[in-house]
A and B are shown apart, each in its own frame.
Chain A
Amino acid sequence: MNGGGSLRQMRGVFIFAMIGVVFMFVAPYVLQLFTIINLTTAIALAVLALSLALVWGYGGILCFGQVAFFGLGAYAYTIAAINFGGSTWAILVAILAASAFATLLGYFMFYGRVSDVYLGVITLTVTLIFFSLIRRTSGPEYKIGNALMGGFNGVTSPPLNLPWDSSSFLFPEQVFYVAMAALILCYVFCGWLVTTHFGRVCVGIRENELRAELLGYDTRLYKLGIFTISAGVAAVGGVLFCNGVGRITPDVFNLYNAALTIIWVIVGGRGTLIGPVAATFGLFYLTSALGGQSLFNNNLVLGLILIFFVLLVPKGVAPTLSGWFTKRRKPQRVTRRRRRQGRAL
């Protein structure tokens, strides 16, 4: 449970991270450029899924508005990059802006002791207000520095460049490397975070907030902490997203995208990190495939998937699969029990 065991507990994380690294170096040689560019967008969305998996799956915080931080990060990056004329500091600005907003919003929610369901609704509402707000900023009077907000059409995002060298832009293939590396780093970071003392307290709060509080932990502060961190991770996804797509529009804040994020985590499984990431890639290709035909509407299929999982597979795919797996291997029982005790703190 303490420091020494942490590396062993992260074995799974490292295995998946290695698979990611191998994929990162093999993919550009195997796949076509078009697929690589598409994949960059999927990777950005996977970072978003990862951030929700952290805050919801481990923190137990029902954040329905994770796309707000994602979109905020993307907008902050774009506006900052246009004004600074380079992407180096813009990335930092994006992460700080999303985290700062999350801290502010989280302060009101956690210190107001808003309960979980309300929390979901408030975060969702904030997202939708962003949507309607930014949609209206189409006139020339709405600008931040040199960057026009562009209303419904959004803003064209400047591409990433080499650090401190704003003249050498990255090509789509290089952006893919950056995105994949960012995803792996975020994944390892989240995997590490949940094994730390901080992460364990957060899981303890998820399991039983009252007990954690009676043990002397300031649950409000821990919740605010994990909420802020996950917003920062979501902002990284946002930066990658607007680079993959080339522009950022208010549509990131809409109800469909907010729902999509929830669906990834539900399908992948709460309480795991790799599940939602894998589900993102799976569903990304499903929705792209559906986009090619007109018989079934995307909303329709996603709605059915969400209802199906909530009613019949409430744990999600990854925990259900690993549940089957561990049931097969009986000798594991002792470690399983120990692990469960660890989770309950």
Chain B
Amino acid sequence: MDLVVAVLFQLVYGIANLALISLGLAIIFGMMRVINLAHGEFLMLGGYTVVVATNNGVNMWFAMLILAPFVVGIIGVIVERMIIRWLYGRMVDTLLATWGLSLLLIGLVTSIFGASTATTISPPLGIIRIGDYSASGYELFLIGVTVVLFIAVWATLKLTKLGLVARGTMQNPEMSAALGVSNTRVYMITFGLGAAVSGLAGGLLAPVTGVLPTIGATYIAKAFITVISGGASILAGTAAGSILLGGINGIFAFITGPTIGEVALLVAAILLLRLMPRGITGRFFRKSL
């Protein structure tokens, strides 16, 4: 029984982890049709923000929950103004430009902080016991944060005026411009918010994974596969993709080890795309957010 609970906990954590690293990407892709290849570097910058801040005596929770999303959000807005806004409607070019941005950010961080791991911070919130097994309290916290984050994004999109305007602009930019909405501002804010969510995710994961200039690469493969498998809907797609792929990864990793788990995740995603080229939400839950 305890074993079942412990394994289930790991499974849920794996799913939450996948959802957390994918959400920022999903927001930017789902709302703006921009595939942000610098997503992994946004996560990395969030992690560095937390490490640098805590090393300078800032409270860790403040650094993770407030500072990381704030800093990366600002960076996102700057990036949108300087690069992305010239390329709207040219998907391939945005993809390439954000790839260039990704290299640029890796290079910048390497020049500033060096190529090796910066001083890491250990995960707070000790250990919780499940019978004979133990699990990390911080992992439980991350599962909670992921759920809260999904609810917050849902509420922002569905209940606030900003969300309404943003959804309208994405559906029909000319019409919303005719109604007096500044499209460029909406794009800027949306990109900034997507970046902020990525920064938050990166900050929260920093104690678990440590930070490296090149750590983005370990995230983006999984994040992309999740978002693409999920399809166009931001929340439902990310959730469905994470549950399916995270579940498969977790089960295979439990049976055979982490290497096969990742391969199973990829094979599942490719098979899924053969059957449903538009992702899960292209076939099911089409009306969802």
Interface residues of A (CB under 8 A from B): 62, 105, 108-109, 111-118, 120-122, 124-126, 128-129, 131-133, 136-137, 254-256, 259, 262, 266, 296-308, 310-311, 314
Interface 9-mer from B6-14, B47-55, B85-93, B181-189: B85-93
Instruction: Tell me whether A262 and B99 are in contact (CB under 8 A).
Output: yes
A299 and B103 contact, Cβ closer than 8 Å, known pairs A122-B270, A132-B218, A311-B83? yes
Instruction: Tell me whether A108 and B263 are in contact (CB under 8 A).
Output: no
Instruction: Tell me whether A310 and B93 are in contact (CB under 8 A).
Output: yes
B76-88 vs A: 1/0 string, CB under 8 Å?
0000000100110
A299 neighbours in B (Cβ, 8 Å): 103-104, 106-107, 110
B273 neighbours in A (Cβ, 8 Å): 108-109, 112, 114, 118, 122
Considering the chains assembled together, what is the distance between the CA atoms of A298 and B91 in angstroms?
A: 26
Pick the 8 closest A-B CB pairs, nearest first: A300-B107, A303-B104, A306-B100, A303-B103, A299-B107, A307-B100, A297-B107, A128-B221
Instruction: Tell me whether B101 and A255 are in contact (CB under 8 A).
Output: no
B214 neighbours in A (Cβ, 8 Å): 255
B101 neighbours in A (Cβ, 8 Å): 303, 307
Considering the chains assembled together, what is the distance between the CA atoms of A275 and B106 in angstroms?
A: 27
Range, interface on chain B: 35 or more
Instruction: Tell me whether A112 and B277 are in contact (CB under 8 A).
Output: yes
B107 neighbours in A (Cβ, 8 Å): 296-303
Q: List 14 A-B contacts (CB under 8 A).
A: A115-B277, A117-B92, A124-B221, A125-B269, A128-B217, A137-B259, A256-B103, A259-B99, A299-B104, A299-B107, A300-B103, A302-B107, A307-B83, A310-B93
> Does B157 interact with chain A (Cβ within 8 Å)?
no
Instruction: Tell me whether A108 and B266 are in contact (CB under 8 A).
Output: no
Chain B positions 210-233 with a Cβ under 8 Å from a chain A Cβ: 214, 216-218, 220-221, 224-225, 228
CB distance from B246 to the nearest CB of A (A): 16
Tell me the interface secondary structure of chain A in the complex. helix
Partner of A108, one of B95, B104, B274: B274
Instruction: Tell me whether B100 and A304 are in contact (CB under 8 A).
Output: yes
> Does B97 interact with chain A (Cβ within 8 Å)?
yes
Considering the chains assembled together, what is the distance between the CA atoms of A113 and B218 in angstroms?
A: 27
A115 neighbours in B (Cβ, 8 Å): 277
Instruction: Tell me whether A116 and B92 are in contact (CB under 8 A).
Output: yes
Considering the chains assembled together, what is the distance between the CA atoms of A117 and B91 in angstroms?
A: 7
> Does B56 interact with chain A (Cβ within 8 Å)?
no
Considering the chains assembled together, what is the distance between the CA atoms of A133 and B263 in angstroms?
A: 8
CB distance from A29 to the nearest CB of B (A): 38
Tell me the interface secondary structure of chain B in the complex. helix
CB distance from B57 to the nearest CB of A (A): 29
Partner of A266, one of B96, B106, B228: B96
- Point out which of A105, A114, A299 has the most chain B C-beta atoms below 10 A from its C-beta: A299
B196 neighbours in A (Cβ, 8 Å): none
Instruction: Tell me whether A306 and B97 are in contact (CB under 8 A).
Output: yes
B93 neighbours in A (Cβ, 8 Å): 310, 314
Considering the chains assembled together, what is the distance between the CA atoms of A132 and B271 in angstroms?
A: 20
CB distance from B44 to the nearest CB of A (A): 12
Considering the chains assembled together, what is the distance between the CA atoms of A113 and B270 in angstroms?
A: 12
A120 neighbours in B (Cβ, 8 Å): 92, 95
> Does B71 interact with chain A (Cβ within 8 Å)?
no
Smallest CB gap from A134: residue in B: B259
Instruction: Tell me whether B103 and A302 are in contact (CB under 8 A).
Output: yes
Partner of A310, one of B96, B105, B111: B96
Smallest CB gap from A314: residue in B: B93
Instruction: Tell me whether A111 and B274 are in contact (CB under 8 A).
Output: yes
Considering the chains assembled together, what is the distance between the CA atoms of A307 and B97 in angstroms?
A: 5
Considering the chains assembled together, what is the distance between the CA atoms of A95 and B100 in angstroms?
A: 30
Smallest CB gap from B104: residue in A: A303
A254 neighbours in B (Cβ, 8 Å): 217
B274 neighbours in A (Cβ, 8 Å): 108, 111-112
Instruction: Tell me whether B266 and A303 are in contact (CB under 8 A).
Output: no
Considering the chains assembled together, what is the distance between the CA atoms of A255 and B216 in angstroms?
A: 10
Partner of A300, one of B104, B225, B270: B104
A256 neighbours in B (Cβ, 8 Å): 103
A297 and B100 contact, Cβ closer than 8 Å, known pairs A62-B92, A314-B93? no
Considering the chains assembled together, what is the distance between the CA atoms of A314 and B35 in angstroms?
A: 18
Partner of A105, one of B99, B270, B275: B270
Chain B positions 245-289 with a Cβ under 8 Å from a chain A Cβ: 258-259, 262-263, 266, 269-271, 273-275, 277
Considering the chains assembled together, what is the distance between the CA atoms of A259 and B87 in angstroms?
A: 19
CB distance from A65 to the nearest CB of B (A): 11
Instruction: Tell me whether A297 and B91 are in contact (CB under 8 A).
Output: no
> Does B108 interact with chain A (Cβ within 8 Å)?
yes
Instruction: Tell me whether B221 and A122 are in contact (CB under 8 A).
Output: no
Instruction: Tell me whether B92 and A132 are in contact (CB under 8 A).
Output: no
Smallest CB gap from B216: residue in A: A255
> Does B102 interact with chain A (Cβ within 8 Å)?
yes
Considering the chains assembled together, what is the distance between the CA atoms of A255 and B218 in angstroms?
A: 10
Instruction: Tell me whether A128 and B220 are in contact (CB under 8 A).
Output: yes
Smallest CB gap from A254: residue in B: B217
- Point out which of A128, A296, A298 has the most chain B C-beta atoms below 10 A from its C-beta: A128
Partner of B111, one of A62, A118, A300: A300
CB distance from B13 to the nearest CB of A (A): 19
A126 neighbours in B (Cβ, 8 Å): 266
B221 neighbours in A (Cβ, 8 Å): 124-125, 128-129, 132
A306 neighbours in B (Cβ, 8 Å): 96-97, 99-100, 103
Instruction: Tell me whether B228 and A297 are in contact (CB under 8 A).
Output: no
Considering the chains assembled together, what is the distance between the CA atoms of A129 and B106 in angstroms?
A: 20
